[in-house]
Each structure stands twice: as structure tokens, then as C-alpha cells.
């Protein structure tokens, strides 16, 4: 096993105190939680004392300070898990998969469907046939022969992540791709999608308003909704909120901007007046729902 030395630039997070955060003025630097999630981007505004107090009550605000690059030893990743095969996944024709290319698409995950499998080879491996990956609001993802793609599959047996190589691109009778047999299949967790306790930052505003989005705390989440604690409750049951939040799954940052419907308004918390909204996502892109399920599977 070979070992190589690389330079790694690290960001150190430094704890902030309330007096260090200006109010009603554009921030010169982003404010982050202890795990690196962005609470307020650079240029955003913390509007008042109530918003600042809410942030400190529900999160641990930090700012990033760049450290000098340092030499680190990088070794091959070794997993003790038993190798999994395509048969172990339980993937079927018509199953939805999330697919991320390695071209100029960044970390975006597109939605695709399995439309077939090749005849098993002598070693049991089978190629995968999938529709051209799509994401609403974006052009279809153009794949290139020889390109490696990352996939997430959600089946009745769990959530799986694996890589394939694009073996062929077909245009007739419709656009689809032939992928190599999956390699390095990993089971993330047993499939479990009840609401999962979490602590994520989210920004929200009344749908259609031009107000500056407020900061809220996600205390639990599911593929269909979340509980969002807010500092100054103003929404009523049936109202719609423009909602933005982000998370990381398998080292990939995913940002979701969506509309949520207020289905429940909780009682004010004693002492703070903070209220928890029960929200239902009006619609999530298939690729976003896949990424969210992947995140939940990793942390459940």
C-alpha cells in the first residue's frame, strides 16, 4: 500500500460572542455553526437583538479563520465491509436513482430511472441502463463515455451509494446511458424515514414577500417536512414559507430552496416566546428528496 504526502489547507472555527456581531449591517464574513454550517453568509444582515439572541440560544456561532497549509499523510481508504453486489441492492426496473456526474455540474445530483440490466457475465456482473439524468430548471445532464458517475439508490433493502463508468450513450428510441457494473457499493444505513432529530440552520420568509429571510432552527426533519423553531412567529396554519437550508451527505454539500406549508403552530416556549412550526414541503425535486433520504440514512 502506497502512502503519499499532500498539503491540506484547513479552516479553523473561532467562537463568536454577541458583541462581535454587528446588527442591521452587512457582515464582512460568514457566521457558521460549530459543525461548519452557514448561519449567515457574508453580506447578509443580522437585523436586530432578537435575531442575534435566537442564534446564540439555538446554535454556537463561529467565524472561519484560514490556517496555513500543512503536510498530511494520505493513505488508501480501507473498508472492512463485505463487498456488495447489484443483487444485494435489490434494484429493480423503474427504480429512481440519484446521479452526479464529474463534469461541470459541481455537486448537483440529478434524478434518473433504471430501465434495464444486461445479461450477467461469467463473473455475475451486469451493466445498468438508466434514463438521461434530469433536474427541473436545468438542462438534462450530458454524460460522456468513459466518465465516472456517482449514484445513490433507495430500495426496500436500504440506501446504497456506488460508482459506475459510462460505457455508452444512446439516442434511440430516447436518450439513455449504459453504465458499467457498479463498483465499491456501500450500504449507508437501514432504510428508516420517520422524522429524524437534527439541528440544522434554515432561512425562511413569507412566500412572495421581499422581506429579508429570518434564521430558524430545524429540530427534526423527514423527506416530507420538518419542525422549524422561529424567534418571532407570524405565520398561521395554511400559510406558505419560502424555505432554504443545506446539509452534507457523503461529503457533498446540498442546498435546498423550496416552499413549505405551515401545518401546525406550536405553543410559545416559556421565557423566550419561540414557536415551532410543523412544515410540509410543497414540492421537492426528486434529486433533492434522494439527497435528503441519503442524509437521513447516514445520521439515523
CATH number of the domain that 180 lies in?
Answer: 2.30.110.10
| 107 within a domain of the structure (yes/no) | yes
Report if residue 80 sits inside a domain. Answer: no
Give the count of domains, the chain. Answer: 3
Pure H helices in 143-217: none
Is residue 200 in some structural domain? yes
Q: Which band of pLDDT confidence, cut at 50, 70 and 90, is reported for residue 1?
A: very low
C-alpha to C-alpha distance for 182 and 186, rounded to whole angstroms: 10
What pLDDT does 280 receive? 92
State yes or no: pLDDT of 151 exceeds 80. Answer: yes
Residue 183: partners with Cβ closer than 8 Å, 6 or more residues away: 162, 163, 164
Run of H or E residues at 288: helix 286-299
Residue 81 lies in a domain: no
Residue 144 belongs to domain spanning: 86-187
| pLDDT value of residue 34 | 80
Final residue of a structural domain among 21, 50, 75: 75
H or E stretch including 52? helix 49-58
Q: What is the pLDDT of residue 251?
A: 67
Q: What is the CATH number of the domain that holds 253?
A: 2.40.10.220
17 within a domain of the structure (yes/no): yes
Domain boundary among 187, 215, 233: 187
Position 123 pLDDT exceeds 90: no
Q: What is the pLDDT of the chain when averaged over all its residues?
A: 81
Statement to judge: residues 120 and 163 lie in one domain: yes
Report pLDDT for 186: 85
> Which one-letter DSSP state was computed for residue 133?
P
In a domain, residue 7? The reply is yes
Predicted local distance difference test score (pLDDT) of residue 300: 58
- Same domain for 287 and 254, yes or no, is yes
Pick from 53-67, 143-157, 165-179 the range whose average pLDDT is largest. 165-179
Strand boundaries in the chain, DSSP class E: 3-8, 11-15, 31-32, 38-40, 62-66, 70-75, 96-100, 110-117, 128-131, 148-155, 158-170, 176-179, 183-187, 196-206, 214-222, 225-230, 240-249, 252-265, 275-281
Contacts for 134 with CB less than 8 Å, ≥ 6 apart: 110, 111, 112, 140, 141
Pairwise CA distance, residues 29 & 42, whole Å: 4
Amino acid at each position: 500500500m502506497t502512502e503519499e504526502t499532500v498539503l491540506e489547507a484547513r479552516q479553523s472555527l473561532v467562537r463568536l460572542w454577541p458583541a462581535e456581531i454587528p446588527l442591521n449591517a452587512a457582515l464582512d464574513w460568514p457566521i457558521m455553526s460549530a459543525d461548519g454550517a452557514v448561519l449567515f453568509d457574508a453580506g447578509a444582515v443580522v437585523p436586530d437583538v432578537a435575531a442575534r439572541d435566537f442564534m446564540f440560544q439555538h446554535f454556537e456561532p463561529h467565524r472561519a479563520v484560514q490556517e496555513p497549509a500543512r503536510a498530511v499523510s494520505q493513505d488508501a481508504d480501507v473498508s472492512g465491509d463485505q463487498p456488495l453486489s447489484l443483487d444485494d441492492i435489490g434494484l429493480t426496473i423503474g427504480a429512481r436513482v440519484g446521479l452526479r456526474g464529474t463534469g461541470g455540474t459541481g455537486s448537483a445530483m440529478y434524478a434518473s430511472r433504471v430501465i434495464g440490466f444486461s445479461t450477467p457475465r461469467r463473473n455475475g456482473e451486469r451493466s445498468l441502463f438508466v434514463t438521461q439524468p434530469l433536474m427541473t430548471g436545468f438542462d438534462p445532464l450530458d454524460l460522456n463515455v468513459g466518465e465516472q458517475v456517482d449514484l445513490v439508490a433507495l430500495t426496500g433493502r436500504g440506501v446504497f451509494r456506488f460508482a459506475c463508468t459510462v460505457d455508452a450513450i444512446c439516442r434511440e428510441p430516447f436518450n439513455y446511458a449504459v453504465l458499467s457494473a457498479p463498483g465499491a457499493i456501500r450500504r449507508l444505513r437501514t432504510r428508516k424515514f420517520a422524522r429524524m432529530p437534527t439541528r440544522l440552520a434554515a432561512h425562511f420568509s413569507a412566500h412572495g414577500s421581499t422581506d429579508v429571510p429570518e434564521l430558524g432552527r430545524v429540530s427534526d426533519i423527514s423527506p416530507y417536512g420538518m419542525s422549524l423553531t422561529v424567534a418571532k412567529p407570524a405565520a398561521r396554519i395554511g400559510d406558505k414559507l419560502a424555505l432554504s437550508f443545506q446539509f452534507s451527505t457523503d461529503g457533498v454539500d446540498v442546498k435546498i430552496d423550496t416552499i413549505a406549508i405551515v401545518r401546525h403552530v406550536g405553543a410559545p416556549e416559556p421565557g423566550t416566546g419561540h414557536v415551532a412550526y410543523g412544515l410540509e414541503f410543497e414540492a421537492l425535486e426528486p434529486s433533492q428528496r434522494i439527497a435528503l433520504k441519503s442524509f437521513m440514512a447516514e445520521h439515523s
